[in-house]
């Protein structure tokens, strides 16, 4: 069964957002589909 996860990341520093985004994508399971939205403030 595939999991669809929607994530909203909020931070004012783009490098922090990029780090968390890369970590989430690198550690997700095969059956997970991530939709990541970002907000800078």
Whole-number pLDDT of residue 7: 97
Q: How many domains does the chain have?
A: 1
Whole-number pLDDT of residue 31: 96
pTM tops 0.75: yes
Does residue 25 contact residue 34 with C-beta atoms inside 8 Å? yes
Which residue segment(s) compose the domain that 34 sits in? 3-39
Whole-number pLDDT of residue 24: 96
d(CA 37, CA 30): 20
The model's pLDDT over 1-41, given as tens digits with 9 standing for 90+, comes to 899 999 999 999 999 999 999 999 999 999 999 999 999 98
The DSSP secondary structure of 1-41, one letter per residue, reads: --EEEEEEEE-S-HHHHHHHHHHHHHH--TTEEEEEEEE--
Whole-number pLDDT of residue 21: 96
């Amino acid at each position: 069964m595939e999991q669809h996860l929607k994530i909203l990341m909020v931070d004012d520093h783009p490098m922090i957002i990029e780090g968390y985004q890369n970590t989430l994508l690198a550690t997700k399971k095969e059956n997970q589909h991530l939709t990541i939205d970002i907000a800078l403030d």
